[in-house]
Amino acid sequence: MLQSLLPKLLMIPAILIGISIHEYGHALAAVKLGDDTPLYQGRLTLNPIKHLDPIGFLFLMIVGFGWAKPVMINPKNFKNPRRDDLIVSLAGITMNLLTAIAFTLVIKFVVSNFYSFLVTEAGQYTITMLYAVVQINIVLMIFNLMPIPPLDGHHIVQSIGGWKVTNFFRQYEQVIRIGLILLLVTGYIGRIIGPPVYGITNFLFTIFNVF
């Protein structure tokens, strides 16, 4: 029983790291750009408890794709609302990418210097958990780039596209949200973001010559 649950248990630290880094990135960018809303709401922290969305966490555990509790911002506090909202939206994704790169380098270091440890059972669990951190962060990055409310990609295309794009999302927001839920429930979301996730993971491992 424990053996079958172990892969899921090893995913938990990766998920907690990924969502905490992502939401902290949003909060930090917003505060730096003049909006203290995330600070007042206790979101300027790496504490995963502050960022967990129970349903999103379950989806991450069960199907590998999910979400955290969104960081609330007030664009009225920004000097340039359109530009700054774009920066805040990109901040979480960027933090996930940097974390994936950092843990790829950690894996390279472990593989290069602790081979005798890696052949042990504990070593295999360790490398599996480190790999999960890389992959979960890339999953969160790609998933959040989708231009679907309430994901970051939705804010990005609105900031770039202007009022025409904003009106489109306002008109079809509910339909798009239902579509996202169906993709998650049926598992078809994996067919969409799976290839870029594995492609970027393999790219990082290749350029850093991990294995």
Nearest partner of 92 among 130, 131, 38, judged by Cα: 38
Q: Which residues are catalytic?
A: 23
State the residue for tokens 């993971």: 201
Angle at 140 between CA 100 and CA 150, to 5 degrees: 150
CA–CA distance from 198 to each of 8, 137, 177, 204 (Å)? Answer: 19, 12, 25, 10
CA–CA distance from 99 to each of 21, 82, 155, 162 (Å)? Answer: 8, 27, 22, 31
Distance separating alpha carbons of residues 11 and 6, to the nearest angstrom = 9
